[in-house]
Amino acid sequence: MTKAEQAVAGIVAAVAIALLLAMLGGVLSPTYFLFLFGLGGMYALMSLGLNAQWGFTGLINFSVAAFFGLGAYGAAIMTASNSPLAGGFNPIFGLALALALAAVVAVAIGIPTLRLRADYLAIATLGLAEVIRMVILNEGDYTAGSQGLRGIPSFFEGWPILSAFPETMPGLEIEIIPGQAVVLGTSFWRQLLNVSLMLAFLGTAFFVLRRAHRAPWGRVLRTIRSDEDLAKALGKNTYWYKMQAFVLGSLIMALAGVFYAHLNLFVNPGDLDPITTFYVWVAVMLGGAGSNRGALLGGFVVVAIREGPRFVGDVPVFALDPGPLRLLLIGLLIVLVMRFRPQGVLPPQRELIWPTAIDDDNRTTPKMGVREAKTDGEMQGSTDVSTEQSGGGDSDE
Amino acid sequence: MAVTEQFLELAANGVVYSSIIVLCSIGLSLIYSISGFANFAHGDTMTVGAYATLVAFGAIGGIGFSVLSLPLGFFLAVVIGIAITAVVALVTERIVYKPLQIGSLGLLITSIGIAFIYRALIQVGFSAGTYRYELEALRPIDALVQYGIRVTEHDVAIVISTIVLVVGLHILLQHTDLGRKMRATADNPDLARASGIRTRNVELWTWTIGAGLAGAGGAFLGLFNQLVPRMGFNELLIIFAAVILGGIGSVYGAMLGGFLIGMIVEMTPILSTVGIPIGSEYGAAIAFVIMVLVLLVRPEGIAGQAVGGEGG
């Protein structure tokens, strides 16, 4: 393990122990913890999706929130009780619609934009994401507009055993510290089901991406990221590969949206706010572009930033509203990561092809090595010259 | 002729809104031409200008005689607001962007962080609520209402101030030493440096002017609508659309693009009147779609690339 990995492992372990103690001590309710853990997994899922686009392929996609929203709305339109189109279906159909919607829109956005230069792609995708948000906000006949879709069932509604699982499980009472019993009731089991759904999504996405990253397919993507002309020269249809990565990432983001719809049981157009996009970007940059482990880590850190300000509100030093504090922390985190660790906390190991897109200059691996060798050589050269010129003189020996 | 009347009214409003977009687009384009990255903090720089003007106007008060129902104190406050915005941008450039050793994409992402920091600090200082300048609300100018045009004297003041600033910038770019240096540096920084231009100074001046114009745009946007912490961020994509339509990096293109995009956004309601079923709520969406189309068909925009690319 590298130093960074050891540090991260240590911090993760410390945080896990602290959370466990907080739960046993009755400070943090286990149900709420599971809810937060679910949110963390949701961001981690979106980060994995963005990682496939930005980390693997170098596509600057600023429409994460739109695909998340499409996933959530796809699930909600099929299942919500006030859905103007088709409410009350089994959530499986919602999942199918969400994925289909995301795939179609990803292709539709990808066809024009994936030919664009990197910074233009960023602006174009952000603009199109806003267009999607406006359509969802204003086409109330299909989406119920600004009032949102409510009455979404839990994902396992209508499944054989699982739909009744929270009710059939006995309420547990755990008393470690006398007088402070931790009660695990129906809502706990419901959240546990949600979290297991999230883990299923997350696990699937993680292993698919890990497999893809190691396969020849992933190597082509990384070649595109670091030098698209090179990939073209090798006979690869880079546009087609970029499209595949874009759609794959978008599907994973839509999965996060489906999970969110069944976690929150309510969606509205505010869920497509571009801030979500930037949260996910922070997660990926913090973890390290191209690193799936980093994306997982980043997702949970982002939820800590998003939800943390609620708890520190009582401490006088942080006597700020949660809203601005959250924004300030995200902003500072972006600036600090870009300043001090642009490759992220857990950059991918054993990479043969390094990205040139984001950190041209301060990469500590091959590129820099070549430059150091070059400067060394020059210095060597100049010393040689001076020795020759001094010609055995005694002054500089 | 209901359509004509609506057209006139929307066009008049469009001119006012366009003025604001033009100011901000020029700033964004200038900064792009010198620093080489798309500055996502530009929208929130506008917000800084608006709130700085609010504070300055609160301190100065409505002193002096009034021009177009705006006391002299307000214009003074706008100038102070512009100055504060420029200082904020310069400090940011010095302590954040300059030390970064990453490519233009890294700078782009960093500027998103800066945008959030600006907005968070404004929310901390002024809460998330809305503000207005301490000016009495005006009725539309009576002489124009008969033609269906509903603009206030404040709106006229915005347009005239914009024209003054734009003409001033044109003179600066074309007829002063600094302007020539700016154009030279934008065109080819290495050559400019080799010719003895202190490009670092030029760069700082460009940031000053670009952020100052954004500050002015923000101050006027606050007069046109009201002040909220998201006001600038909400316009950011519109400004990008304007800059890209005009040709990113080109000052004169940004003027044209800003005018066109501002008009398009404000004129959208005319579509449903003439029978095209696109509601006024899609004004911004149309601008974004135009932006993507321009990127596809003519990524260099209407006016080509650098500051010195035309007219000089």
8 Å CB contact of B102 and A138: no
Q: Over range B214-235, report the average pLDDT.
A: 93
A238 has a pLDDT exceeding 50? yes
Mutate to test the interface with A, among B105, B122, B243 (most CBs of A within 10 A): B105
Q: Over range A158-166, report the average pLDDT.
A: 72
Question: Which of residues 224 through 283 in chain A touch B, CB cutoff 8 A?
Answer: 278, 281
| A146-155, B82-91, B237-246, range with the lowest pLDDT | A146-155
| A80-94, B170-184, B224-238, range with the lowest pLDDT | A80-94
Cα–Cα distances in angstroms (integers) from residue A237 to residues A112, A221, A248, A278, in the given order: 16, 11, 17, 30
Q: Which of B169, B189, B188 is nearest to B179 (CA)?
A: B169
| pLDDT at residue A177, rounded to an integer | 66
| pLDDT at residue A382, rounded to an integer | 37
The ranges assigned to domains in chain A are 31-356
| pLDDT at residue A182, rounded to an integer | 66
Residues of B in contact with A135 (CB under 8 A): 285
B161 has a pLDDT exceeding 70? yes
Query: Is the pLDDT higher at A157 or at A120?
Result: A120
Dihedral-angle region of residue A117 (phi above 0 means left; psi in -120 to 50 means alpha; beta otherwise): beta
Q: Over range B47-67, report the average pLDDT.
A: 89
B196 has a pLDDT exceeding 80? yes
- CA nearest to B123 within chain A: A324
- pLDDT band of residue B206 (cuts 50, 70, 90) is very high
| pLDDT at residue B247, rounded to an integer | 87
CB-based contact A257:A74 (threshold 8 Å): yes
Cβ neighbours, 10 Å, residue B276: 10
Question: Which of residues 90 through 129 in chain A touch B, CB cutoff 8 A?
Answer: 112-113, 115-120, 122-124, 126-128
Q: Over range A216-225, report the average pLDDT.
A: 89
8 Å CB contact of B38 and A123: yes
The domains located in chain B, with CATH, are 2-309 (1.10.3470)
CB-based contact B105:A358 (threshold 8 Å): yes
| pLDDT at residue B61, rounded to an integer | 81
Query: Is the pLDDT higher at B306 or at B23?
Result: B23
| pLDDT at residue B152, rounded to an integer | 87
Q: Over range A203-216, report the average pLDDT.
A: 91
Query: Is the pLDDT higher at B86 or at B69?
Result: B86
Alpha carbons A101 and A96: distance in angstroms, whole number: 9
Q: Over range B169-196, report the average pLDDT.
A: 90
- Using the Cβ of A361 and the Cβ atoms of chain B, whether some distance falls under 8 Å is answered with yes
**Cα of B141 to nearest chain A Cα, Å:** 33
A355 has a pLDDT exceeding 70? no
Residues of B in contact with A339 (CB under 8 A): 96, 99-100, 110
Q: pLDDT tens digit string along B275-310? A: 787 877 888 899 999 999 998 888 788 876 544 444
Q: Over range B113-142, report the average pLDDT.
A: 88
Record the tokens describing residue A202, joined without a space.
């997350």
Out of A112, A281, A326, the one facing B109 most closely (by C-beta) is A281
- pLDDT band of residue A366 (cuts 50, 70, 90) is very low
Out of B105, B237, B279, the one facing A127 most closely (by C-beta) is B237
Question: Which of residues 321 through 360 in chain A touch B, CB cutoff 8 A?
Answer: 321, 323-328, 330-335, 338-339, 342, 356-360
Q: Over range A348-366, report the average pLDDT.
A: 52
Out of B102, B113, B128, the one facing A359 most closely (by C-beta) is B102
Query: Is the pLDDT higher at B157 or at A80?
Result: B157
CATH of A31-356, one of 2.60.40, 1.10.3470, 3.30.2310, 1.10.357: 1.10.3470
CB-based contact A277:A65 (threshold 8 Å): yes
| pLDDT at residue A106, rounded to an integer | 95
Give the DSSP per-residue string, B147-166.
Answer: TT----HHHHHHHHHHHHHH
A87 has a pLDDT exceeding 80? no
Q: Over range B20-35, report the average pLDDT.
A: 92
| pLDDT at residue B257, rounded to an integer | 94
Query: Is the pLDDT higher at B69 or at B200?
Result: B200
B263 has a pLDDT exceeding 90? yes
- pLDDT band of residue A362 (cuts 50, 70, 90) is very low
Residue B301 has φ and ψ, to the nearest 5°, of 75, -170
Residues of B in contact with A124 (CB under 8 A): 291-292, 295
| pLDDT at residue A392, rounded to an integer | 38
A387 has a pLDDT exceeding 60? no
Identify the top-confidence range among A387-391, B232-236, B275-279: B232-236
Record the tokens describing residue A262, joined without a space.
């069944």
| pLDDT at residue B304, rounded to an integer | 64
pTM, to two decimals: 0.85
CB-based contact A212:A218 (threshold 8 Å): yes
Identify the top-confidence range among A192-196, A319-323, B273-277: A192-196
8 Å CB contact of A134 and B104: no
- pLDDT band of residue A175 (cuts 50, 70, 90) is low
| pLDDT at residue A319, rounded to an integer | 57
CB-based contact B22:B166 (threshold 8 Å): yes
Give the DSSP per-residue string, B74-112.
Answer: HHHHHHHHHHHHHHHHHHHIIIIITT--S-HHHHHHHHH
Residues of A in contact with B237 (CB under 8 A): 123, 126-127, 130
| pLDDT at residue B89, rounded to an integer | 95
| pLDDT at residue A359, rounded to an integer | 45
| pLDDT at residue B7, rounded to an integer | 85
| pLDDT at residue B283, rounded to an integer | 87
Give the DSSP letter of residue B129. Answer: S
Cβ neighbours, 10 Å, residue A17: 10
Q: Over range B268-278, report the average pLDDT.
A: 81
For chain B, list residues whose CB is within 8 angstroms of any CB belonging to chain A. Answer: 37-38, 96, 99-106, 108-110, 112-117, 119-121, 123-124, 127-128, 237, 240-241, 244, 279, 281-282, 284-285, 288-289, 291-292, 295-296, 299
Out of B108, B120, B281, the one facing A324 most closely (by C-beta) is B120
8 Å CB contact of A332 and B99: no
| pLDDT at residue A28, rounded to an integer | 74
Burial class (CB in 10 A: 0-12, 13-18, 19+), A341: middle
Q: Over range B270-279, report the average pLDDT.
A: 80
Alpha carbons B4 and A392: distance in angstroms, whole number: 93
Counting DSSP H helices and E strands in chain B, the numbers are: 13, 2
Alpha carbons B146 and A23: distance in angstroms, whole number: 70
Alpha carbons A332 and A337: distance in angstroms, whole number: 8
- Within 8 A by CB and 6+ apart from B215, the residues are B45, B46, B48, B49, B50, B52, B53, B81, B82, B84, B85, B86
Mutate to test the interface with A, among B32, B100, B102 (most CBs of A within 10 A): B102
8 Å CB contact of B244 and A123: yes
Q: pLDDT tens digit string along B98-120? A: 888 788 888 998 999 999 999 99
Alpha carbons A254 and B273: distance in angstroms, whole number: 37
| pLDDT at residue A361, rounded to an integer | 44
8 Å CB contact of A278 and B112: yes
8 Å CB contact of A339 and B105: no
- pLDDT band of residue B8 (cuts 50, 70, 90) is confident
| pLDDT at residue B222, rounded to an integer | 93
Q: pLDDT tens digit string along A35-61? A: 888 999 999 999 999 999 998 888 999
Q: Over range B171-198, report the average pLDDT.
A: 90
Out of A130, A324, A357, the one facing B124 most closely (by C-beta) is A324
| pLDDT at residue A352, rounded to an integer | 59
User: Please, which residues bridge with residue A174 across strands?
Assistant: A182
| pLDDT at residue A176, rounded to an integer | 65
Size of interface A-B (CB pairs under 8 A): 139
Record the tokens describing residue B102, joined without a space.
């990453």
**Cα of A50 to nearest chain B Cα, Å:** 15
Residues of A in contact with B123 (CB under 8 A): 321, 323-324, 327
- Within 8 A by CB and 6+ apart from B3, the residues are B270, B273, B274
Q: Over range B199-225, report the average pLDDT.
A: 94
Cβ neighbours, 10 Å, residue B61: 12
Alpha carbons B153 and B174: distance in angstroms, whole number: 32
In chain A, % of residues over pLDDT 90: 29
Q: Over range A274-280, report the average pLDDT.
A: 91
Query: Is the pLDDT higher at A194 or at B21?
Result: B21
Out of B101, B105, B119, the one facing A362 most closely (by C-beta) is B101
CB-based contact B202:B73 (threshold 8 Å): no
